[in-house]
Amino acid sequence: MASPEESGDSVEPVIDLKSDQFFMGEALREAQKAYLQEEVPVGAVIVHEERIIARAFNQVETLKDATAHAEMIALTQAQSALGDWRLSDCQLYVSKEPCPMCAGAIIHCRIQRVIFGCRDEKGGAAGGFINLLQQDTLNHCAEITPDILGEESAQLLRTFFEEARTKRKDRDLARGQDLGDFSYGSN
Amino acid sequence: MASPEESGDSVEPVIDLKSDQFFMGEALREAQKAYLQEEVPVGAVIVHEERIIARAFNQVETLKDATAHAEMIALTQAQSALGDWRLSDCQLYVSKEPCPMCAGAIIHCRIQRVIFGCRDEKGGAAGGFINLLQQDTLNHCAEITPDILGEESAQLLRTFFEEARTKRKDRDLARGQDLGDFSYGSN
């Protein structure tokens, strides 16, 4: 049988298992897990010598811990995997630009490069409202690659927040109804 | 027997168990524990309704986790104690000005006030190299009280780093000796 090349059919795109797009796809899978748990959908993976050594997603509400961002959990996992807090040969992939807390943690752990999906102009600390990853006064600087699967990452966040707003409205309406039942006379 | 007041003797100073100095003293006790474990001596406590609900010290080397700063551990403890990630009615006492990671975490947890000992002009994020605790673009602002037992906090850090330098020199010298033993002829 003729191969696709010989027959002139279009060739299936080969997935490069070492590309930024591939690893960001894995970070997005993590973000999806957050979405399914009704958490702000952000996911992260950490790569060492072209292999994923940590995967995590945002778990602020599940763990009742405002510091439980995807990046923080992934950093702790990676440190545990390598038995060292120095992650100098590691790359961190995260679906949204890191906040100041996570950027600070990334610098403490000496991550070599940070690759992120969508930008956060208001709260981002990798060039959004500030760039903490490249400050001469701090102990370490990390390379930055923005906008990898940025639109997919942003779309997941938009969907989450739109649904959250709708749910909140419905809940407020339902509560108003309940209050009406119990607080007769108060119109 | 005459009371000190009646006899004219000096009266022992009363320790105000609700003062910034008292709680910072407790943060310094934590810093001392770090010092005894050969960790950079920084300690923190978190106070809610005038009671300490979290105590922690820097454990970066012990836990092999570069994010294990005193403030981060204390925040997680306090969130666990209150069963909520919102620490809006809490005050955080820390012996050294928080770094960007910790300042970011403090803002996420909505700490009401941050009281710190000594300043960190190079890496501090509560007015040192940047003020992340009072940024209009972020979701929350915290009050700041600097310089509480600042000299005591700074002295402990100075002692630690001086001793660390001496130890490193001794170790390097000992290693040189060893190398000398094994690398004769390399002169």
ipTM of the complex: 0.85
Q: Is A161 on the interface with B (CB under 8 A)?
A: no
Say yes or no for a CB contact (<8 Å) between A76 and B65.
yes
β B51-57/B43-48 pair status = antiparallel
- pLDDT value of position B177: 56
- A158's CB contacts (< 8 A; 6+ apart) are none
Closest partner CB to A138 (pick from B107, B123, B137): B123
Integer angstrom CA distances of residue B91 from A94, B47, B51, B88, B151: 31, 5, 10, 8, 21
- pLDDT value of position B186: 33
Helices (H), chain B: 4-7, 20-36, 60-63, 70-82, 100-108, 150-182
What secondary structure, in 3-state letters, does A69-108 show? CHHHHHHHHHHHHHCCCCCCCEEEEEEECCCHHHHHHHHH
Q: Is A81 on the interface with B (CB under 8 A)?
A: no
**Helix axes B70-82 and B20-36, enclosed angle (nearest 10):** 120
Q: Is B44 helix (H, G, I), strand (E, B) or coil?
A: strand
Chain centroid, CA A173 distance in Å: 32
Comparing C-alpha atoms, which of B24, B27, B4 is closest to residue B14? B4
- Quickly state the pLDDT bin for B112 (edges 50, 70, 90): very high
Q: What is the pLDDT of residues A43-97, one digit of tens each?
A: 999 999 999 999 999 999 999 999 999 999 999 999 999 999 999 999 999 999 9
Say yes or no for a CB contact (<8 Å) between B76 and A67.
yes
- pLDDT value of position A180: 38
